[in-house]
Amino acid sequence: MLFHEILEDFRKGNLELWCPKMIVRQQESERPIEYLGSGLVRQNQERGFEFILIESSSPSLSENLKSMLASSEEVGKLLTSDKYYSLEVTDLSGRSWEADRLLISHSFSPAGSIILGNIHVLKRMESSESQNTTIKLEIFNDIKLPLAEATKKTVRTSTGELVSWERNMAKLRVGQFEITITKESNIITVVAISKKTSPSPYFETRIIEALQYVTSRTLSWGILQKTADGKRMTCLRSVERALLPTNLSLPIDYDHTDFEGKWVWLLFGKYLEHIYDFTGENIFQMHPLSAWLHYIRNASAGSIFAKGLGLGVAVEGILECEFSEIGKPSAEYVKAVEEMITWVNSFTDDNNVQKRTLGALHAMQKARAKDKLLALQKKDVIRGEDVKAWDSIRNMGAHARPPEREERQEWIDNCFKTEVLLNHLIFYAIGYQGEFTDYGTRNWPQSRYSCWRASPS
């Protein structure tokens, strides 16, 4: 089977790789268990990857099973690293594939033992002579994007060629990378090319994070093709469980304004530049800022109360990861608190009162989220009305008081204002100046953000 046929079968959800050679090996163990045999890697009805390895009966089989049963973990306890397995396979065309962090199960047949498992990402590595760094992502999601540039379409007919143009492309430059985003049917394709530099580790994940921010959607790539440093990597990813649609608003509502994406793609580029250097431990670890956005997207898919609670916490998280040095108490204030701590340490009448008081005093030595917000408000980074809105939903949420019927409109208004606050914090952190949608004002007009952060801390 040709390689492009494998990718096309994967896109259709019917890929099957028959493998005469398969190895399943225990990870991070001094004496790893191994299973050798042949079998199949395929997509199931949910378009997730699974594998079946048939191992001929061997003396090691019973010993392997005894070892697994003897080291079984308690239910509800985190799995230790040695519970995971890796997979190496060779398909009928002689191509090698691999996967890791697999959980396996067993069954039996007259032919021998059967090892089963699900695969999150199937990877293939090969050498490449290309001098360019290229990352190509295919995202299987039918969402609307502001794509203004046109692609030429040519169709051959009996009388010649029929030419048409379709607006389905955006082009931009981020650092040393030329990035092209196109959409065909239900596939979004992102291509990033550089002739001068290798990408930071997991740059493909940063691209997805930036796209998630401007679309307010949780996205993941289905196919990743990456060429860098003389190597070419192809990854095929199982379709993930569908999430509830988010109710988080677009930072720039391109459904009703900015149809050509002038400001959307500027925001995308600024966000990508800001998170570019974050390495992380693996391909799935997000930048802390993106992790908070992921949290609030999921929270907003629930009730309006869950959205408000999530917004309140996410603002605090963003303040901590992006503005850790802002709003710190003065030296005089800290000194006064330290004197109070010394006095309370000498109080011995009630140990419980002493512990609770000391906890409060130690917290006073650090800047609260509200202290940071007020300091940023003083610099005109954020608006006072949005800070008040955040304070309201944060306090009600933290004290488990959902809005009463007569308070719902105010709660909804405050959630929208807090969304603006969240976006303004991000704009300032990443150095974005431009248009945004002002959800804090009725009828949600387009407005302009112009506060500049010269040297992010």
Tell whether 193 and 277 lie within a shared domain.
yes
Tell whether 321 and 268 lie within a shared domain.
no
| 75 located within any domain | no
Please report which residue ranges of 145-261 form alpha helices under DSSP H. Answer: 203-215
Tell whether 92 and 155 lie within a shared domain.
no
The per-residue pLDDT of the chain, averaged, comes to: 88
Q: ∠ CA(435), CA(438), CA(440), 5° rounding?
A: 160
| 74 located within any domain | no
Tell whether 155 and 132 lie within a shared domain.
yes
Closest of 166, 259, 145 to residue 211, by C-alpha: 145
For residue range 185-216, what is the model confidence (pLDDT) as tens digits? 889 999 999 987 677 889 999 999 999 999 99
Tell whether 322 and 442 lie within a shared domain.
yes
| 33 located within any domain | yes
- The answer to whether 117 and 26 are in contact (CB under 8 A) is no
Mean pLDDT of 391-407: 88
For residue range 373-391, what is the model confidence (pLDDT) as tens digits? 999 999 999 999 999 999 9
For residue range 325-347, what is the model confidence (pLDDT) as tens digits? 887 766 676 677 677 877 777 77
Amino acid letter for position 195: K
Tell me how many domains the chain contains.
3
Tell whether 143 and 277 lie within a shared domain.
yes
User: Whole-structure pTM over 0.85, yes or no?
Assistant: yes
CATH number of the domain within which 104 lies = 2.30.110
Tell whether 263 and 226 lie within a shared domain.
yes
| 454 located within any domain | no
Please report which residue ranges of 182-239 form alpha helices under DSSP H. Answer: 203-215
Tell whether 93 and 204 lie within a shared domain.
no
Range of the domain at 390: 304-449
Tell whether 176 and 267 lie within a shared domain.
yes
Would the pLDDT of 418 be above 70?
yes
Torsion-angle region of 266 (φ positive above 0: left; ψ -120 to 50: alpha; else: beta): alpha
What is the per-residue pLDDT for 457? Answer: 43
Tell whether 278 and 162 lie within a shared domain.
yes
Tell whether 262 and 379 lie within a shared domain.
no
- The answer to whether 230 and 217 are in contact (CB under 8 A) is no
Half-sphere exposure (Cβ direction) of 353: Cα atoms closer than 13 Å: 6
pLDDT band at 456 (very low <50, low <70, confident <90, very high): very low
Tell whether 231 and 334 lie within a shared domain.
no
